[in-house]
Amino acid sequence: MTNTEQDRWSRVKGRLRSSVGEDVYSSWFARMDLETVQEQSVRLSVPTRFLKSWIQAHYAERVLTCWQAEMPEVHRIDLTVRTCARCAVPTQETAGPVVKTSHDVVPPVRSDGRPAPELRATAIAPVSATHDALGGSPLDPRLTFGSFVIGRANTLAHAAARQVAEGRRGDSVMFNPLYIHAGVGLGKTHLLQAITWAGNSGTEERKVLYLTAEKFMYGFVAALKTQTALAFKEALRGIDVLVIDDLQFLQGKSTQVEFCHTLNALIDAGRQVVIAADRPPSDLELFDDRVRSRLACGLVVEMGNLGEELRLGILKSRVAAAKAHHASFDVPEPVLDYLARTIVHNGRDLEGAINRLLAHSKLNNAPVTLDMAEREIRDLIRPQEPKRIKIEDIQRVVARQYNVSRSDLLSSRRTANIVRPRQVAMYLAKTLTLRSLPEIGRRFGGRDHTTVLHAVRKIEALVSKDVALSEEVESLKRQLQE
Ligand code: ADP
Ligand code: MG
């Protein structure tokens, strides 16, 4: 692709971003790539069929309009789905000791991508029995779709989770894996367990297995180690949807090898994989590059902070749940408003607050009042944590400030108008995030850590002398911390 095309594409993306807003943009368009521009038609690609059909249904006109603003001759946008490499299993040398069981597990796939017959799921038992028998982690009966409150922060994650839960056996999978990431207490586990409950309780006979990463490591893998390859196949055969929570805790090379096999086997067989973690795939530093890219290959969705409205909704749903067992319990509207305004941190504290009010009003046999609420939840009000800044944000803000594209920053081009912004961005990445030099290098188009170090030192030296640059850097920091 030529530089002019690249620039044009950056501008089209800029238009799209301002037209749909940052939230929608990052949900749906962040991973849209330009493939080709040919006379009147433009070919774009996205990583999943789900994104493709959603964009076609909701944003086709908008995308075309944004192109036409840059290139009036364009009359047609073709949207295709990029294919994704399998997750290459880390090699023996890098992987350390490997469990011997699962090498032959990768099942045959038919040319149409459907699971080969022998991997179709078979016998079915009632929900929890199945779940237990497969070694699943315990489920909390309260964490269902019914009690999940939808808001701006989680609309897309919820839609995708629903889609997974409503799938039927043998349906082709719309995106795989579904990867949901968010900070602590923002509803990942709730959504994952909701998928598990819903998936297992439908009329369709499907098996959804929910595992925490720890359980995967110590339970599932341990069981596999003691059994044969055949047993591993058997276990996999029974699973339609594998749900893994808190993937960031998955440690150790040999576990990763198992994870990789499992991922490949299930995805190749058309089975759904759902993952939650506290960071995007690219930030899973302990993971092999190829595993990361496979994880990024399906639908990656971030859930944002709970806004006040969402917090209020969660509180109400918690009160309603508590009322089911304690009919006399009630929390007046002003108290709910107060809680939603003051407990901004996360969903766990909201739950904790309601539990305390319930306990207090039961023990003292007294109704909930604002005074009492203020006293009871004092310690749940935490100072706002400083915002976690991401390398992508730095790249985006720097690119905007210097009027270059993000791909310029990652490219190997060495013209002065790109080299300086790139160095500034690396410098900010080092000073505003906890990422290591090699990690930063990797995120800047696979550069060596010495290049990053050089950039950091260079900018450090310059800002102490160059007032204009120092002001630019300060302004960038402010924009990022806003
Ligand atoms: P995470 O796994 O992301 O750390 P959890 O799923 O454990 O967070 O959520 C923490 C608490 O907040 C749970 O009690 C959960 O039910 C509640 N919660 C979070 N988001 C929502 C939501 N959208 N609707 C209802 N409850 C929520
Ligand atoms: Mg969780």
Q: Is 291 in the pocket of ligand 1 (CB under 6 A)?
A: no
pTM, rounded to two decimals:
0.64
Buried b vs exposed e over 348-372: b needs ≥16 C-beta within 10 Å?
Answer: ebbbbbbebbbeebeeeeeebeeeb
**For 391-421, how does the pLDDT look when each residue is reduced to its tens digit (9 = 90+)?**
999 999 999 999 999 999 999 989 989 999 9
Closest CA to 206 of 250, 270, 139: 270
Q: Is 352 in the pocket of ligand 1 (CB under 6 A)?
A: no
Q: Is 187 in the pocket of ligand 1 (CB under 6 A)?
A: yes
**For 179-202, how does the pLDDT look when each residue is reduced to its tens digit (9 = 90+)?**
999 998 999 999 999 999 998 876
**Residues 96, 84: Cα–Cα separation, whole Å:** 27
Of ligand 1's listed atoms, the one at least distance from the Cα of 142 is 16
Q: Is 149 in the pocket of ligand 1 (CB under 6 A)?
A: yes
Return the structure tokens found at 369: 């009042």
- Containing H/E element for 274? strand 272-277
Domain extents for the chain? 3-125, 145-302, 308-381, 391-481
| Mean pLDDT of the residues in the chain | 82
- The bound ligand whose nearest atom lies closest to the alpha carbon of 155 is 1
Q: Yes or no: say if 335 and 319 are a contact pair by the CB < 8 Å rule.
A: no
Of ligand 1's listed atoms, the one at least distance from the Cα of 245 is 2
Q: Is 181 in the pocket of ligand 1 (CB under 6 A)?
A: no
Categorise residue 247: left if φ over 0, alpha if ψ from -120 to 50, beta otherwise. alpha
**Residues 27, 122: Cα–Cα separation, whole Å:** 36
Q: Yes or no: say if 231 and 72 are a contact pair by the CB < 8 Å rule.
A: no
- The bound ligand whose nearest atom lies closest to the alpha carbon of 184 is 1
- 391-481 fold: Chromosomal Replication Initiator Protein Dnaa; Chain: A; (1.10.1750)
pLDDT score of 260: 83
Of ligand 1's listed atoms, the one at least distance from the Cα of 246 is 2
CA 364 / ligand 2 centre spacing (Å) = 33
Q: Yes or no: say if 259 and 214 are a contact pair by the CB < 8 Å rule.
A: no
Calculate helix-pair angle for 467-481, 449-463, nearest 10 degrees: 120
**Which residues, at least 6 apart from 132, have a Cβ–Cβ distance to it below 8 Å?**
none
Which CATH architecture does the domain made up of 3-125 adopt? 2-Layer Sandwich (3.30)
Q: Is 317 in the pocket of ligand 1 (CB under 6 A)?
A: yes
**Residues 263, 175: Cα–Cα separation, whole Å:** 13
Is the domain covering 145-302 a CATH 2.60.120.260 domain? no
CATH of domain 308-381: 1.10.8.60
Q: Regarding predicted confidence, which is higher, 103 or 341? A: 341
Q: What is the DSSP string of 50-104?
A: HHHHHHHHHHHHHHHHHHHHH-TT--EEEEEEPP----PPPPHHHH-S--STTGG
CA 53 / ligand 1 centre spacing (Å) = 29
pLDDT score of 192: 97
Task: Tell me what the mean pLDDT of segment 123-137 comes to.
Answer: 51
Q: Is 314 in the pocket of ligand 1 (CB under 6 A)?
A: yes
Helices (H), 168-303: 188-201, 213-215, 221-226, 229-237, 253-268, 289-295
